[in-house]
Amino acid sequence: MASLDINQVSKIYAGGNKAVNSVDITIQDGEFIVLVGPSGCGKSTLLRMVAGLEEISEGEVKIGGRTVNTIEPAERDIAMVFQNYALYPHMTVRQNLEYGLKNRNTPRADIDARVAEAARMLEIDQYLDRKPRALSGGQRQRVAMGRAIVRQPAAFLFDEPLSNLDAKLRVSMRGEIKRLQRRLGTTSIYVTHDQLEAMTLADRLVVLNGGRIEQIGAPLEVYHQPASTFVASFIGSPAMNLVQGELHGNRLAVGPSLLTLGGHAPTSGEVTVGLRAEDLRVASSDEEGLQFRLDYVEELGSQRLVHGHVGDQALTASMALDVALADEMKLAIDPRRLHFFARDTGKRIHAPGTAPASQPSVMEVA
Partner 1 sequence: MAYVAPSPRFLPWLTRKPRPKVFAEGAKRVQFSSPVLPYLFLAPQLAVIFIFFYWPSVQAVSSSFYIEDPFGFGSTFVGMSNYTDVLTSAQYRGIALFTVVFTALVTLFSLSIGLLLGVKADAVIRGSSAYKTMLISVYAIAAPVAALIGMMFFDQHIGPFVEVASWFGWDMRVGLSYSDTAFAMIVVAVWKQVPYNFIFFLSGLQSVPVSVREAAAIDCKSGFRRFWTVTLPLLAPTAFFLLIINVTYSLFDTFGIIDVMVKDKAANNPITLVYKVYEDGFRGNDLGSSSAQSVILMIVVFVLTIFQFRFVERRIHYT
Q: Can you tell me the distance from the alpha carbon of 52 to that of 78, in angstroms, rounded to the nearest whole number?
A: 10
CB 20 within 8 A of CB 42: yes
Among 1, 12, 53, 196, binds partner 1 (CB under 8 A): 53
Taking the complex as a whole, the smallest distance from the CB of residue 157 to partner 1 amounts, in Å, to 9
Residue 51 as a binder of partner 1 (CB under 8 A): the answer is yes
Which residues, 92 to 121, sit near partner 1 by CB under 8 A? Answer: 99-100, 103
Among 6, 35, 50, 87, binds partner 1 (CB under 8 A): 87
Among 8, 66, 69, 88, binds partner 1 (CB under 8 A): 88
Which stretch in 36-44, 49-57, 200-208, 233-241 sits in contact with partner 1 by CB under 8 A?
49-57
Q: Which amino acid is at 219?
A: P
Q: Can you tell me the distance from the alpha carbon of 91 to that of 130, in angstroms, rounded to the nearest whole number?
A: 8
Taking the complex as a whole, the smallest distance from the CB of residue 5 to partner 1 amounts, in Å, to 20
Residue 123 as a binder of partner 1 (CB under 8 A): the answer is no
CB 131 within 8 A of CB 89: yes
Q: Can you tell me the distance from the alpha carbon of 101 to that of 111, in angstroms, rounded to the nearest whole number?
A: 7
DSSP one-letter string for 51-115: HTSS---EEEEEETTEE-TTS-GGGTTEEEE-TT----TTS-HHHHHHHHHHTTT--HHHHHHHH
Taking the complex as a whole, the smallest distance from the CB of residue 160 to partner 1 amounts, in Å, to 11
Q: Can you tell me the distance from the alpha carbon of 310 to that of 256, in angstroms, rounded to the nearest whole number?
A: 8
The H-or-E segment that residue 259 falls in is: strand 257-260
Which stretch in 29-37, 74-82, 183-191, 329-337 sits in contact with partner 1 by CB under 8 A?
74-82
Residue 147 as a binder of partner 1 (CB under 8 A): the answer is yes
Among 40, 82, 218, 361, binds partner 1 (CB under 8 A): 82
Nearer to partner 1, 131 or 224 (CB): 131
Q: Which residues contact 261 (CB under 8 A, 6 or more apart)?
A: 247, 250, 251, 252, 335, 338
Which stretch in 26-34, 78-86, 170-178, 269-277 sits in contact with partner 1 by CB under 8 A?
78-86
Binding site for partner 1 (CB under 8 A): 51-53, 72-75, 78-80, 82-84, 86-90, 99-100, 103, 131, 133, 147, 151
